[in-house]
Amino acid sequence: MAEGSRRRVMCTILSVDHTDMFYRVCTVCERTLPNPSSTCHSSNPPSKRLFRILMSVATDTEVFTAVCFDRVARLLFGCSADEFFNFAKLHPFSGITLNEIMEGEMFTMSLSKSKNANAQHVRIAS
């Protein structure tokens, strides 16, 4: 797949990595923060979580790992990463249950190669 190009494929989700589904960003500029106590601006705004979910996906010709970022994950889960995180604190097995629910589900996905040359995985664009 060429850089930045998209392709629509019918995919089956094989598994979802529920161990590391979020990352923190500055609420002002959405710059990634290296750790939860880091701040980006002098006014010290609180950070927020965004989704970054690795999924093992199969098409009719290949199996690969794809990454699902916040915009698509919000549509898929119907809530923000902070809301899901707070839910998961009250329900510790929610990540495992999510994996069990998603396993075997079929979707038509738009996949794209990241514009970042260092990216390891294909992105789920929609």
**pTM of the full predicted structure?**
0.80
Is residue 42, in this structure, part of any structural domain at all? no
Is residue 91, in this structure, part of any structural domain at all? yes
Is residue 41, in this structure, part of any structural domain at all? no
Is residue 46, in this structure, part of any structural domain at all? no
Is residue 117, in this structure, part of any structural domain at all? yes
| Residue 3: pLDDT over 70 | no
Is residue 61, in this structure, part of any structural domain at all? yes
22-39 mean pLDDT: 78
Which CATH number goes with the domain that contains 93? 2.40.50.140
- According to the model, what pLDDT value does residue 111 have? 87
Q: Over the stretch 73-122, which tens digit does the pLDDT of each residue have?
A: 999 889 999 999 999 999 989 888 988 999 999 999 888 887 776 677 88
Give me the domain span that covers residue 98. 6-21+52-124
Residue 64's pLDDT band (cuts 50, 70, 90): very high
Is residue 119, in this structure, part of any structural domain at all? yes
38-46 mean pLDDT: 69
Question: Count of domains in the chain?
Answer: 1
Is residue 116, in this structure, part of any structural domain at all? yes
59 contact partners, CB below 8 Å, separation of at least 6: 9, 10, 11, 12
56 contact partners, CB below 8 Å, separation of at least 6: 13, 14, 15, 16, 63, 64, 65
